[in-house]
Amino acid sequence: MKGVLAIDIGGSHVKVRIPRDPDKRRFESGPGLTPEQMVSGVKELVSGWSFDRISIGIPAPIAKNTAKIDPVNLGDGWAGFNFEDAFGLPTKILNDAAMQAIGSYEGGCMLFMGLGTGLGTCLINQHVVQPTEIAHMPYRDGETFEHVIGEAGLERSGKKAWKKDVSEVARILYEGLLPDYIILGGGNSKKFKNDDDLPRFCRRGDNANAFLGGFRVWEDVWKNATD
């Protein structure tokens, strides 16, 4: 087999990687990006790479190997789009937080919290993947968890107060969901310079784990991850 192409779709960029090349390639996305444009852009970007399977992380709920709704930070047409037909290769579609969570998983029961534009969450217990929508649950003063610790909350509160909010939300979820540990991923996890800034049950992840998750999901132990 030739290998896996992992595609990580975000609100600002579409990033791609294959296992044997540590360098990722990317192009800009944005609120007008359609799935057809994404497929076309990826095909242009992967010139010279060989692969026979594809994994795609999309910032939306996933069912039956496609997006259930259009992502809020991208264009129209994602819901129900057939990516296997578009690429002509076996393709697995995951929520973007779930893909990074799989790449971050270190065994046991793990809660993943992706700190970025919003808040992406995923619970994994003994390799069983349970995507969640914790971000949209009410939290404080009429705001959701996402409003408080997403990008808007960081800009409104400032880094020091935001970091306290993240730690408090992590504590609430740790006590409520009982994971063995929590991984903080996403671009804003870099605001925590090291694990000393975090509650004892938290570890800082890495955005590169999204690609690792895309590669891993084809392994037998993860065979139910996209069902």
Q: Are residues 195 and 214 in the same domain?
A: no
Q: What percent of the chain has pLDDT over 90?
A: 85
At 14-29, the pLDDT tens digits run 999 999 988 899 999 9
Q: Are residues 84 and 144 in the same domain?
A: no
- Beta bridge pairs of residue 121: 113
Mean pLDDT of the chain: 93
Q: Are residues 139 and 185 in the same domain?
A: yes
Q: Are residues 89 and 21 in the same domain?
A: yes
Q: Are residues 87 and 111 in the same domain?
A: no
Note the pTM of the prediction, 2 decimals.
Answer: 0.92
Q: Are residues 79 and 139 in the same domain?
A: no
pLDDT at 227: 58
Question: Can you tell me the mean pLDDT for 107-132?
Answer: 93
Q: Are residues 92 and 113 in the same domain?
A: no
Q: Are residues 93 and 117 in the same domain?
A: no
Q: Residue 1's pLDDT band (boundaries 50, 70, 90)?
A: low
Type of residue at 147 = H
Instruction: Kindly calculate the radius of gyration of the chain based on its CA atoms and give it in whole angstroms.
Output: 17
Range of the domain at 147: 107-207
Q: Count the domains in the chain.
A: 2
Assigned domain for 175 exists: yes
Q: Are residues 120 and 89 in the same domain?
A: no
CATH of the domain at 94: 3.30.420.40
Q: Are residues 30 and 65 in the same domain?
A: yes
Q: Residue 197's pLDDT band (boundaries 50, 70, 90)?
A: confident
Assigned domain for 227 exists: no
Assigned domain for 141 exists: yes
